[in-house]
Amino acid sequence: MNANRIIKYSLIVFFSLYASNTFAQNVPIEPCGYKYEIEKIIQQKPNFISQQNAWYAQAYQMYSELKSAKRRIIADTEFYEIPVVFHVIYNTAAQNISTALILSQLNELNLDFRKLNADTSRIRSVFKPLASDVHIQFKLATQDPNGNPTTGINRVSTSTTTFATNIYGSYSDDMKNTAAGGQTAWNPARYMNVWICNMEYPNYVGITYGFATPPTGSPNWSQFQSVTKDSTDPKSGVVLHYKVVGKNNPLAPANYKEGNTATHEFGHYFGLRHIWGDAANLSLGCSVDDGIFDTPNAKDKNYSCNPNLNSCTDPTNDKPDMTENYMDYALDGCAAMFTREQAFMMRYVLNNFRTGLPLRNIVFDTIMEYPNPIVTISPNPVKSGNDLNITININDDNAIFISSLIDNNGKLVVKRSIKANEKTILLTSPYAAGVYYLIVSDINGRIINKQKIILSY
């Protein structure tokens, strides 16, 4: 990872060219539909990539501050539980996959995201210290959007024989639309929707095994308000071909038996790019990055676990290609990890883009690291045209704190890191008038201050 400006420029050029030349032909060429999904967003929102780069930069800044504080990151003491609904859209009995398979997939996801997977033994020693618990886990939804009990598995019979639209693996979004033979999403702000359906075209030469919608339109960034929030987009979610769902699916093709396709697509849903950065062609491969600093540069996707692969020379401390990463394509036999920064990025997405989704389980520890910091928050109430000034005075300029603005329903509105002894301005204009709570905690999760804040415009 280097030369950030060049990287961003390359991405913009690449996606522009790609969008104008290839989108029209409607020809996916890879088992994951990520590039195709990005192209579709760019058709609607031409500046999407620059916006995505901007929130990557913001997330990285926050990550760096926390890391340089040399203390544990707050998320080490909390995890997020995501309610998931699996819509099984079936035309044949085989497509109506068993509950046991779906549960095995859910289990694999939870093992992978909590770094409890046994196959971490695959990770080479050079990458072992980077493998990270994402602190996100998944559970089947227990209540449907009408408040009725549900198993979290919604089986829908369809007359549609396939959702692929050509032999190259192009596909429609009809699985996400009840009127078109699929199932319209359950409220995407409250549920993670996963559609399981047939993605095979007769006599196909290419197939999309899965795709995910990346996060768009952070509600906290006023400069991005022109972008549709995906929390209200009924297409928000993950689609999986029924043969790659679950552990040891008897219909799974070779190299897709471990349930890692879902882990890969969930990674996209939480904002991750492919580990090689999706360059337009191989000549750009080593200069287009995934925006994550602790993944080595890679020129292109890898389908193989060959430990000698090293497609790019990293600027410092050159490492081989990280085929162990879930965001590469060598899934079965290799994939076993997300990195620390990827994990942070996914939590950042939950805290900034998909704030209605997670149920938080916060385990506060009792480390008393600081001698009574003085927290000053003003003005309060906040009147129109004013913003909130937060200062935390403590005898340690390197200390980092976290401020969380919570609304009156207990929902997280915005989360910011705060450096000690510096005034931090929290813009309040994006938020409606009302009663809020500002909770300040240290990076060990210990709450050091909680105040009621009134926004009165």
Which residues in this chain contact Zn ion in the complex, by CB under 5 A?
32, 34
Q: What's the rounded Cα separation, in Å, for the pair 177 and 193?
A: 12
The count of other CB atoms within 10 Å of the CB of residue 189 is 15
Q: What six digits make up the tokens of 317?
A: 């401390």
Per the CB < 8 A criterion, the answer to whether 312 and 297 are in contact is yes
Which residue, 321 or 442, has its beta carbon nearer to Zn ion? Answer: 321
Q: What six digits make up the tokens of 375?
A: 């927290």
Q: Is 420 helix (H, G, I), strand (E, B) or coil?
A: coil
Among residues 344, 308, 339, 398, the alpha carbon closest in space to that of 136 is found at: 344
Q: What's the rounded Cα separation, in Å, for the pair 345 and 53?
A: 12
Question: At 319, which amino acid appears?
Answer: K
Question: At 114, which amino acid appears?
Answer: R
Q: What six digits make up the tokens of 349?
A: 């997405």
Nearest approach in angstroms of CB 241 to Zn ion is 13
Which residue, 23 or 457, has its beta carbon nearer to Zn ion? Answer: 23
Nearest approach in angstroms of CB 166 to Zn ion is 20
Is 265 known to be catalytic? yes
Nearest approach in angstroms of CB 212 to Zn ion is 8
Pairing of strands 382-383, 388-393: unpaired
> What are the respective helix, strand and coil percentages of the chain, to the nearest 5?
25, 20, 50
Which residue, 34 or 338, has its beta carbon nearer to Zn ion? Answer: 34
Catalytic residue among 30, 37, 39, 265: 265
Nearest approach in angstroms of CB 248 to Zn ion is 22
Q: How far apart are the first and last CA of the chain?
A: 44
The count of other CB atoms within 10 Å of the CB of residue 359 is 10
Nearest approach in angstroms of CB 253 to Zn ion is 17
Chain position carrying tokens 């979610």:
237
Nearest approach in angstroms of CB 49 to Zn ion is 16
Which residue, 32 or 49, has its beta carbon nearer to Zn ion? Answer: 32
Of all residues in the shown chain, the one whose CB is closest to Zn ion is 32
Length of the chain: 457
Which residue, 34 or 171, has its beta carbon nearer to Zn ion? Answer: 34
Q: What six digits make up the tokens of 211?
A: 């795709």
- Point out the residues that are catalytic: 265
